[in-house]
């Protein structure tokens, strides 16, 4: 059983949703980002998504675009991202790590080499937003053959005719983008989320995680009653953007994570 499977199986027994947190690797700098990464599980994160810094993060809103700029400006790279995972694994062998980003850096690194190095570093899953299901042979199939889950995004515009193609060979969990647009934007109504989760469950047995626009403990709790996981990213990245010092960034991100985690953990009580 993979770390992702084990995590969701455990949470199902506990009758609660997962808190999936997102941060850009190396934001605002390597040392600060690593300290935050190591602190997230203790602050309530069940699964951690790490953004792979890229110059053109087209699916992301202003907050995460700025995070990419900060990380790249401080010398972050894909190799350093994998190094960060390796350092995290020295003290944590159970929290799933999912890398999220774009194909260009992986293609430049070399697909086979990247999958090998990512697996050795301790990566569990991958979300690559600009590789469609029609090109599974590019990355999805090699990743899964190398023991890394390939997680698909679905959106409100992914209709029932398209869904089987999108979900074909998907593994780990389904990431449902609850609004049409970029990260950190508007939020969907709970009725819309409920309907989307029910529709996805008709097509797949994989856990369904909801993201985009979730910023508060109350909102996270409401979504946690409907889905298998709640993804929070921009709300945490904003804390880094607003921090004056690295120490403040660490404290504020982990405090926000704890607050949202309390909402998620109390949602089904």
Active site residues: 49, 60
Tokens matching residue 217: 């403990």
CB 170 within 8 A of CB 225: no
**Helix orientation angle between 246-265 and 234-242, rounded to the nearest 10 degrees:** 150
Spatial distance between the Cα atoms of 268 and 254, rounded to a whole number of angstroms: 23
- Roughly how many angstroms between the first and final C-alpha of the chain, as a whole number? 28
Whose CA is closest to 21, among 243, 245, 220? Answer: 220
| Cβ partners under 8 Å of residue 168, min gap 6 | 133, 136
Spatial distance between the Cα atoms of 174 and 208, rounded to a whole number of angstroms: 5
Angle at alpha carbon of residue 107, lines to 104 and 111, rounded to 5°: 140
Spatial distance between the Cα atoms of 216 and 234, rounded to a whole number of angstroms: 11
């Amino acid at each position: 059983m993979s770390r992702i499977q084990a995590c969701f199986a455990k949470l199902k027994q506990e009758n609660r949703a997962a808190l999936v947190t997102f941060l850009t690797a190396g934001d605002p700098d390597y040392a600060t980002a690593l300290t935050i990464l190591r602190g997230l599980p203790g602050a309530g994160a069940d699964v951690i998504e790490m953004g792979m810094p890229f110059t053109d993060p087209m699916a992301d809103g202003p907050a995460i675009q700025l995070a990419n700029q900060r990380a790249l400006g401080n010398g972050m790279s894909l190799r350093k991202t994998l190094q960060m995972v390796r350092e995290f694994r020295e003290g944590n062998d159970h929290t799933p790590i999912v890398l999220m980003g774009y194909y260009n850096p992986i293609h430049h690194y070399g697909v086979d080499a990247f999958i090998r190095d990512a697996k050795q570093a301790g990566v569990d899953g991958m979300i690559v937003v600009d590789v469609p299901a029609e090109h599974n042979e590019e990355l999805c199939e090699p990743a899964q053959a190398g023991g890394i889950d390939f997680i698909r995004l679905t959106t409100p515009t992914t209709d029932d005719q398209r869904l089987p193609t999108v979900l074909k060979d998907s593994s780990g969990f389904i990431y449902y983008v609850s609004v049409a647009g970029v990260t950190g934007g508007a939020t969907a109504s709970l009725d819309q989320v409920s309907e989307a989760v029910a529709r996805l469950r008709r097509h797949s047995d994989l856990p369904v995680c909801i993201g985009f626009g979730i910023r508060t403990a109350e909102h996270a709790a409401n979504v946690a009653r409907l889905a298998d996981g709640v993804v929070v990213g921009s709300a945490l990245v904003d804390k880094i953007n607003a921090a004056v010092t690295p120490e403040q960034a660490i404290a504020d991100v982990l405090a926000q994570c704890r607050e949202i985690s309390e909402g998620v953990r109390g949602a089904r009580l």
